[in-house]
Structure 1
Amino acid sequence: MPAPLVLLLLFPAIGALSGLLAGLFGIGGGLVIVPALNAAFVAGLVAVDPAVRMHVAIGSSLAVIVFTAVSSVRAHHGYGAVLWPAVRGLAPGVVVGALLGAWVADALATRALEVVFGVFVLLMAAHMALSPRVAAAEVQRMPGLAKNLGAGAGIGTVSALGGIGGGIMTVPYLAWHGVPLRTAVGTAAACTLPVALSGAAGYAWAGWTAQTPPWSLGYLYWPAIAGIAVAAVLTAPLGAQLAHRLPVRQLRRLFALLLVVVAVDMLRG
């Protein structure tokens, strides 16, 4: 099958799965988009300089997440599962951190980015699988401004380095402070939007002079972004519906299993 036809089928397939996961786990879908695009580039389906392969995958993932985050957060808000004071507290730090993460990623080699992505995701999987459930009495005991700014900056930086939108850090952070998992997922989806916007802008700027494929803006590869985003926006609300129907314990285990599979694949190189 010719490569252009494969891509016409591949990008929407990636989008459908990433959108479902964006709604289900509040992660923006980057855990699927980044490794899938990286694999497509390695396979030669798109001619991408190996030196910037992961940069293009991550930047494009963040751009897609802008669209999926809007669709996902609307669905979660409809269920009353977004804790907006937490979003406002985390957003300023998240924006600064995402811009910093794009700058750091530009200075790293592709293999270094793959290792960073894989190790971080494994750590998040261990936390989600092994951490105890939070007592209901602790719900919504949120930290102050300084701690939220610091946490937001850390979430934004690491998320932009991995193109993962922020949900896999925001969900456990909120859970540590007593937010129920379903509300943490919805709130993480809302926090994903500023991560994706600022991170994508940072990757567009950082890759302005890089050798990237045609139809790119910096490290943002628009044919992939368009194909993935259209399908992802359609499936994100379905993921949000599932998030409010599955048992909490099952949701945590599914989340952890997904993270392990993706991390192992990335670390293999």
Structure 2
Amino acid sequence: MLTSILTLLLFGCLSGVTTVLFGFGGGFVTVPVVAAVTNRGDAMHVAVATSTAVMVVNAASATVVQARAGRLRRDYVWPLAAFVAIGAIAGSIAATYTGDGLLRILFVTYLAVTIVDSLARGGFLKPQGKPKPLSTFTTTAGGVGIGAVASFLGVGGSVMTVPLLRRKGLPMADAAAMANPLSVPVAVVATAVYATASGGPSGYLDPIAGVALLAGSLPTIALVRRVADRLPDKVHAVAYVGLLAAALIAVAVS
């Protein structure tokens, strides 16, 4: 038990780093580790649910930090966030009816597709041109899709919003910053659904794992907030893809 708590605390620190630098809110860090340490048979459901609960706090804290730094742009956050929230309702409900094994396969598959897309398609590793506004279709239908997939897999939406904003010409630091407020509606909606779904006394949530992760992430968010400004843009983008690859391997072998 002590080893598991220490492991969660350590990965909580890592999730704090990824929240600030990549806008993950913890999803791709917390899902693999919770799935690995939990003793429940529905490990992936517990991992996804606990990840969304941790993201509520992490993403909200990072949003405040990024707002104070002046990195948030309203035209990229709203009304996209509202449509993300709508999609999150459908995605989180669908996840409660999906088998644990299938959920794991879909998580790995989506990570793999995202990694290949980031490397093979132009516009991510190096932004192209000046920042462009989001289209109406991207904001509405795209927002619903982002919310559905993000809540289904417990990843907060950053894995879709960061590449989206990156290809709109934004620097990595700005794209990652705006992934945090866009992750909040996903995390809130999904946590509410998972907490009331079948499973343990707290639904699929693991409160002990969540507290341990937050004990590591919250102090780290406060410490790492200025690092994003110092990372070269290309290094920042490559590190993002590298972290996705690490999460893919962790889930695949756990």
Q: Same fold (TM over 0.5)?
A: yes
Q: Distance in 1 between matches of 2:156 and 2:91?
A: 12
Aligned match of 1:64: 54
Aligned match of 2:179: 188
- Percent identity, aligned pairs only? 29
Task: Indicate conservation of the 8 Å contact 1:26/1:167, yes or no.
Answer: yes
Residue 135 (structure 2) aligned to one of 125, 136, 143: 143
Aligned match of 2:152: 161
Task: Indicate conservation of the 8 Å contact 1:33/1:57, yes or no.
Answer: yes
Residue 95 (structure 2) aligned to one of 96, 100, 105: 105
Q: Which runs of 5+ in 2 are unaligned?
A: none
Q: Distance in 1 between matches of 2:118 and 2:226?
A: 21
**2:233 counterpart letter in structure 1:** V
Q: Distance in 1 between matches of 2:98 and 2:154?
A: 14
* 1:13-162 mapped onto 2 (5 Å cutoff): 13-41=10-38, 47-48=39-40, 50=41, 52-130=42-120, 131-132=122-123, 133-137=126-130, 139-144=131-136, 146-162=137-153
Q: Distance in 1 between matches of 2:70 and 2:119?
A: 26
CA RMSD in angstroms comes to 1.7
Aligned match of 2:248: 263
Task: Indicate conservation of the 8 Å contact 2:21/2:173, yes or no.
Answer: no
1:153, CA displacement in angstroms?
1.0
| 1:201-246 deviation line (CA, Å, top 9, x unaligned) | 12112x2x33x2xxx4111111111111122111123343222110
Query: Is 1:226 equivalent to 2:223 in the alignment?
Result: no
Q: Which runs of 5+ in 1 are unaligned?
A: 42-46
* 1:188-227 mapped onto 2 (5 Å cutoff): 188-205=179-196, 207=197, 209-210=198-199, 212=200, 216-227=201-212
Aligned match of 1:248: 233
Moved more, 76-85 or 242-251: 76-85
Query: Is 1:171 equivalent to 2:162 in the alignment?
Result: yes
Taking a change above 3 Å as real, the CA distance of residues 83 and 140 of structure 1, as seen in their structure-2 partners, is: farther
**2:127 counterpart letter in structure 1:** V
Q: Distance in 1 between matches of 2:170 and 2:135?
A: 12
Q: Distance in 1 between matches of 2:238 and 2:158?
A: 16
Task: Indicate conservation of the 8 Å contact 2:5/2:209, yes or no.
Answer: no
1:254, CA displacement in angstroms?
0.7
TM-score (norm 1): 0.87
Q: Distance in 2 between matches of 1:223 and 1:195?
A: 22
Q: Distance in 2 between matches of 1:155 and 1:231?
A: 28
**1:97 counterpart letter in structure 2:** G
Q: Distance in 1 between matches of 2:70 and 2:251?
A: 35
**Secondary structure class of the residue paired with 1:241:** coil
Query: Is 1:9 equivalent to 2:6 in the alignment?
Result: yes
**Secondary structure class of the residue paired with 1:244:** helix
